[in-house]
Chain A
Amino acid sequence: MKIVLFVVLSTFLFAQGVPAGTKIENQAKLEYRLGDNNITVYSNKVIDTVDQKLDMKIVCQEAEEVIVGVSEVKRALTFRLVNSGNGSDNYLFSPLSGAESNFNVLNPEIYLDNGDGIFSLANDKLVEEMNLSADGNATLFFVGDIPDDADKYSDNGIKVASEKQEGLAYGESKQVDDYYALMAVEEESLSDLCRYKVSHLAIELEKTATLSSDALYRGTTIHYKIALRVKGTGVIRNVLVEDLIPEGTEYLPNSLQLNGEEYGDFNGTAISVNVGEITQEVESDEPQHFVTFDVKVI
């Protein structure tokens, strides 16, 4: 008769627990009376070695889709890796792409966060693997380039493999040093995806100049007009238009306007106009806003 034994994987109450390899000792003492004699004997020492529970999880940390534009490079998706087992483990990473993606990102890479939670090429480290102690965690970034022909969505993420887990299915174990490592993770916890969403929304600026004379002379006024056009449909927030005053000219005070009304600032070298939010619900070639200002040739 074939008998298959499964160790009961009870509901674990603790993320970490007693470290793997710890020796647990149990020994009892017996005292008894025999006639007039008091006798003491000790039991053997039962020693159990704590095994290692291989338990990890990687989870996308983006609350929403990450909006990207075509041809953008090094756009990051944020993930968190947690080792909730009771021993250290070395994790190997590989980029992952979702089956339902509309496009593939270029040059996928994985970076380890330096601790500030923000992706930065200068501060974060390109990684293929890392070691985490029991109950340790790390923030990782999946980073990729958006291709020129990107459209709609792309799901991307990280797949994690533990060195100790190699060859083990859920519930299986193997000997590591003088104890066993038992796989306590289901396949679906070993990877996760976040989503890029492509936005084709963009602002185009067209700048024209009109002279107060037929040619450029000292004293000629140049009237500049910057037209803002929105490509695509949607909402663009925090639009700020800035422009340097050309060399050899001086800004004419109070000439700066947005859509014909005095608005904006001049800081001595450049004008700036905070346009704010622009909404385009229907595609149109008509400019939504105009920024104008005058300078005089000196």
Chain B
Amino acid sequence: MKKIVLTALITMASSINIYANISINSDSYQSVIKINEDGTKKKEWVKAEKVLPGGVVKYVNTLNNDGVETATQLVINNPIPKEMQYLSSSAECQGSCVIYYSVDGGQTFKKPSELFVGLGQERHLAKAEEYTNIRWVLDNLSGNSQSSVGYKARLK
């Protein structure tokens, strides 16, 4: 009896370890020009500190799978802040993914060529600044690995 109970306990402990623990962390960055002592300049992305109208912010969502099991069918939805305008073609991901956009607050998502706004004569292909949400779809994220998705937007 004791042996069976022990085995059950060991089995349970092992089961806990195989669950994936995926966290998502969001950060914002802005572009700065770094001037070295020798006068050389380099453009870099640093944590956003001074956000001014017209300035560009890069948002990065980092996924971290702490477990050993592979997670599948990952979908990341990111509403674009209403004070920001999405910069065309700036959405990206590490590795492979499919990116969709919404112009109706996240109710529906489509590819850019399928996104329309307006009615009647005013109906037109949505411009990047009219996007309201971004969605990334990743097939999987292996255990003990990281990935990231991101986009750039301009402050109105």
A33 close to B (CB within 8 Å): yes
Shortest distance in angstroms between A197's beta carbon and chain B's nearest beta carbon? 41
Question: Could you tell me if B141 and A32 are in contact, using CB atoms closer than 8 angstroms?
Answer: yes
Q: Flag B54-79 by CB within 8 Å of A: 1 or 0 each.
A: 11110101010000010111111111
- Segment touching A, from B4-12, B33-41, B89-97, B113-121: B33-41
Shortest distance in angstroms between B156's beta carbon and chain A's nearest beta carbon? 5
Residue in A2, A22, A30 whose beta carbon sits within 8 Å of that of B83 in the complex: A22
B81 close to A (CB within 8 Å): yes
A44 close to B (CB within 8 Å): yes
Question: Could you tell me if B55 and A1 are in contact, using CB atoms closer than 8 angstroms?
Answer: no
Task: Across the interface, name the chain A residue whose C-beta is closest to B62.
Answer: A43
Task: Across the interface, name the chain A residue whose C-beta is closest to B63.
Answer: A30
Question: Could you tell me if B51 and A51 are in contact, using CB atoms closer than 8 angstroms?
Answer: yes
A122 close to B (CB within 8 Å): no
A282 close to B (CB within 8 Å): no
- How many chain A residues touch B (Cβ–Cβ < 8 Å)? 48
A17 close to B (CB within 8 Å): yes
A99 close to B (CB within 8 Å): no
Question: Could you tell me if A17 and B156 are in contact, using CB atoms closer than 8 angstroms?
Answer: yes
Residue in A5, A9, A26, A51 whose beta carbon sits within 8 Å of that of B81 in the complex: A26
A10 close to B (CB within 8 Å): yes
Residue in B49, B72, B78, B155 whose beta carbon sits within 8 Å of that of A28 in the complex: B78
A236 close to B (CB within 8 Å): no
Question: Could you tell me if B35 and A46 are in contact, using CB atoms closer than 8 angstroms?
Answer: no
What residues on A are CB-neighbors of B144 within 8 Å?
none
Question: Could you tell me if B76 and A28 are in contact, using CB atoms closer than 8 angstroms?
Answer: yes
Shortest distance in angstroms between A154's beta carbon and chain B's nearest beta carbon? 39
Question: Could you tell me if B34 and A26 are in contact, using CB atoms closer than 8 angstroms?
Answer: no
What residues on A are CB-neighbors of B154 within 8 Å?
13
Residues in A1-59 with C-beta less than 8 Å from chain B: 1-14, 16-18, 22, 24-35, 39, 41-46, 48-53
Q: In the complex the two chains form, what is the Cα distance from A16 to B156 in whole Å?
A: 9
Task: Across the interface, name the chain A residue whose C-beta is closest to B46.
Answer: A5
Residue in A12, A39, A173 whose beta carbon sits within 8 Å of that of B54 in the complex: A12
Question: Could you tell me if A5 and B24 are in contact, using CB atoms closer than 8 angstroms?
Answer: no
B111 close to A (CB within 8 Å): no
A81 close to B (CB within 8 Å): no
Question: Could you tell me if B26 and A46 are in contact, using CB atoms closer than 8 angstroms?
Answer: yes
If A14-B156, A17-B156, A32-B22 touch, whether A50 touches B61 (CB-CB below 8 Å) is no
A86 close to B (CB within 8 Å): yes
Shortest distance in angstroms between A185's beta carbon and chain B's nearest beta carbon? 13
What residues on A are CB-neighbors of B83 within 8 Å?
18, 22, 24, 50
Q: 19 A-B residue contacts at CB 8 Å?
A: A8-B43, A9-B52, A13-B154, A14-B53, A16-B53, A17-B155, A18-B155, A25-B81, A26-B26, A27-B26, A31-B73, A31-B75, A32-B141, A48-B48, A48-B51, A50-B51, A50-B83, A180-B50, A184-B52
